[in-house]
Amino acid sequence: MGTQYITPDLQRWIAEQLRAGVGAAQLVQSMVGAGWQQKIALQAVAQAKIDGWFKKSPETPANAGLPDADIADGRTWVQAHDRQVPVIMTMEHPRVIVFGQLLDADECQAIIDAARPRMSRSETVAEEKDGSEVNAARTSRGMFFERGETDVVTRLEQRIAALVNWPIENGEGLQVLNYQPGAEYQPHYDYFDPSHASSAAILRRGGQRVGTFLVYLNTPKRGGATTFPDVKLAVKPVQGQGVFFSYDKPDPSTLSLHGGAPVLEGEKWVATKWLRQGRFV
């Protein structure tokens, strides 16, 4: 293969792709598939982000594309607002990233302590009517914080926003779930099914969900993994770690089917942040 150079034409093409919302990792993958050397592709995309070739024009929505982390250059650490966190695992399709050390033990406990008095049986979006309902597939207990309700919730929201380059206001309030032994959440999708009776009203509050960020607040003794059945992936719950995944449309082809495996011993506490296309109100 001959020598390849980052030409002005390549710069313009990369800028167009980034302005259109194509993620850095996806862009590098496309370039490699088109015959570019991986080293050149990584260098070009990284340089584009540093030099701002892709600055959005006024008519381009600030939230175009999908949430994603800046890890196309192979870095093993990412800045998460006020701390650096390690990148433990990545997958392209579905887009899954596992981050470590997102919260320390004291922060995890502070969220659990604030949530515990407000827990009730978890519900899911109703299929035949507006609102939500108890579902036998989901046997956890849960509650919701308002955005920025406590100092530690604010810090977590800021870290998540920085990690996946998505505005805080485009996120729902943090949900905390508790799974006792035997409790589970059977495989499901987080996007809203447009055919459900309640979806129209939900989508008016910020558009479709495009990403999910789970943060483990404790480490169960056994069980409780986050599973992705379509790709045979299981992420074990470890205190302070987070798993992020995105989905670009409400369709099973996103391979974003996931579930919470039964807790076999001990209990599991997890915080969930759902990311919307637009500002969540």
Same domain as 42, residue 134:
no
Residues in the chain: 281
Write out the DSSP string of 227-268.
EEGGGTEEEPP-TT-EEEEE-SSSSGGG---EEEPPEEES-E
Same domain as 142, residue 21:
no
- The whole-angstrom separation of Cα 242 and Cα 232 is 19
Evaluate whether residue 175 is within a structural domain.
yes
- The whole-angstrom separation of Cα 8 and Cα 44 is 11
Evaluate whether residue 169 is within a structural domain.
yes
Q: Which two tokens stand for residue 153?
A: 């919730």
Give the model confidence (pLDDT) of 46-77 as tens digits.
877 666 555 443 333 333 489 999 999 899 99
Evaluate whether residue 135 is within a structural domain.
yes
Same domain as 204, residue 241:
yes
For the chain, report the end-to-end CA distance as a whole number of angstroms. 53
261 vs 30: which has the higher pLDDT: 261
Task: List the one residue out of 65, 53, 39 whose CA is nearest residue 11.
Answer: 53
Share of the chain above pLDDT 90, in %: 66
Evaluate whether residue 1 is within a structural domain.
no
> Other CB atoms closer than 10 Å to residue 52's CB: what's the count?
10
pLDDT at 237: 98
Evaluate whether residue 259 is within a structural domain.
yes
- The whole-angstrom separation of Cα 25 and Cα 73 is 8
Tally of domains within the chain: 2
Helices 38-51/24-33 angle, 10° precision: 140
Same domain as 234, residue 146:
yes
Contacts of 58 (CB under 8 A, 6+ apart): none
3-state SS string for 44-67? HHHHHHHHCCCCCCCCCCCCCCCC
Alpha carbon 8 to its chain's center: 34
Evaluate whether residue 240 is within a structural domain.
yes
What average pLDDT does the segment 29-35 reach? 83
Write out the DSSP string of 132-167.
EEE-TTB--EEEEPPTT-SHHHHHHHHHHHHHHT--
Give the model confidence (pLDDT) of 85-137 as tens digits.
999 999 999 999 999 999 999 999 999 999 999 999 775 554 554 545 445 65
- The whole-angstrom separation of Cα 136 and Cα 121 is 11
What burial class does residue 46 get, using C-beta atoms within 10 Å of its C-beta: 0-12 exposed, 13-18 middle, 19+ buried?
Answer: middle
pLDDT at 123: 59
Same domain as 127, residue 37:
no
Same domain as 193, residue 128:
yes
Write out the DSSP string of 61-125.
-TT-S----S-TT--SEEEETTEEEEEEEEETTTEEEEES-SS-HHHHHHHHHHHGGG-EE-EEE
190 vs 12: which has the higher pLDDT: 190
Same domain as 87, residue 55:
no
Query: Whole domain around residue 44: which residue ranges?
Result: 8-60
Backbone φ and ψ for 120, nearest 5 degrees, come out as -150, 170
Same domain as 269, residue 235:
yes
Residue for token digits 């035949």? 128
pLDDT at 131: 47
Evaluate whether residue 261 is within a structural domain.
yes
